[in-house]
Amino acid sequence: MLELKDRFGRKHDYLRISVTDRCNLRCLYCMPEEGVEFTESENVLRYDEIVEVVETGASLGITKLRITGGEPLIRPNLDGLIARLSSIPGITDIALTTNGIFLAKQAKALKEAGLNRVNISLDTLDAARFRFIARRGELKRVLEGIEAAADAGFDPIKLNCVLLKGVNEDEIAQFLKLAYERPLHVRFIEYMPIGHADENWRNHYLPLSRVLEIAEQEGYELSRREQVRGNGPSDDWQMAGAVGSFGLIHPISDHFCSNCNRLRLTADGNLKPCLYWMDELNVKNALGDRDAMKELFFKAMDIKPENHEMAAKLADNALSHVPTERRMSQIGG
């Protein structure tokens, strides 16, 4: 059986697929409020094309997928794509990352189509602050989406909370309480300096050691737990007596590259070996030619760097490669 192994011996079995770079929100850590240029619709990979890329990846040992974006639920008939992907031999796990706004309507159909897991982004529990961070949309819709996902039988449900200094760090205790009381896994995520995030990032980056400090102050008895089902680099914790749990994703203060198992496919058809760097390979050129596409997967392994070096940026140190110009909404997180 062929497999995807990079120069550092890391086996790759996980593909994150951005199905669109468009979004109904404008989260301040991800996109500017106005003036975002999107990929022309005719240049976005069609579902048939995504299926072809995944079939090729699956023949090389890709078993796990995550559908992301932009906002994946704005793409019509996403359940149809999930159904097709879930029937590809070798694909055993399909997850979705969504902002949750359109989830209430689609949760049941997505589950029936074969979606295994869902992550919902939620950075605040306060309606006015939601509007400040996401600049559009309503918190209420996201909360309804979380309920609908639970009713549809998704388990675990993970909440992605990007912590921002001076914006939502005062809600850490409330998020911990939520994980204590409800069967939810809250994933606190460090703000990453992707694309043009520079100035904002320097002002709002918060190391996640803060979460453990607050958990102790709040009196929770903590123990490390086995990773909650998933494929990510999360450092997971249990609070004694809690129904849910929480995890820390700290790409900057404690980078997770040594276990990296992932490749990314952008909405405009580029395979990205690493989230942070500019290098990418255009798979559109290889559509219709399985061998050529396999070669691109292998090439992605050959050029994948050892680390992302986001921490070097914090210290203003020189970088070994050129960072991507893409925004997180174009890469998919």
Compute the distance between CA of residue 13 and CA of residue 3 in angstroms, rounded to an integer. 8
279 interface partner picked from ligand SAM, ligand SF4, none, CB below 5 to 8 A per type: none
DSSP-derived letter for residue 154 is -
Q: Give me 159's structure tokens.
A: 């909440």
Which of 12, 65, 66, 69 binds ligand SF4 (CB under 6 A)? It is 69
194 interface partner picked from ligand SAM, ligand SF4, none, CB below 5 to 8 A per type: ligand SAM
**Is residue 305 a contact partner of residue 273, using CB atoms and an 8 Å limit?**
yes
* Shortest distance (Å) from residue 329 CB to ligand SAM: 5
CB neighbours of 76 closer than 8 A, spacing ≥ 6?
none
User: Strand 222-224 vs strand 235-239: parallel, antiparallel, or unpaired?
Assistant: antiparallel
Cis amide linkage into residue 32, ω under 30° from 0 = no
User: In a 3-state reduction of DSSP, which class is residue 224?
Assistant: strand
**Is residue 273 a contact partner of residue 12, using CB atoms and an 8 Å limit?**
no
Interface with ligand SAM includes 102 (CB under 6 A)? no
Interface with ligand SAM includes 270 (CB under 6 A)? no
191 interface partner picked from ligand SAM, ligand SF4, none, CB below 5 to 8 A per type: ligand SAM
Binding string, 13-32, against ligand SAM, x = CB under 6 A?
Answer: ----------x-----xx--
Number of residues that make up the chain: 333
Residue (56 or 330) nearer to ligand SAM, CB: 330
Give contact residues for ligand SF4 (rule: CB under 6 A).
23, 25-27, 30-31, 69-71, 99, 121, 328-329
Give contact residues for ligand SAM (rule: CB under 6 A).
23, 29-30, 68-71, 97-99, 121, 160, 162, 189, 191-192, 194, 197, 328-329, 332-333
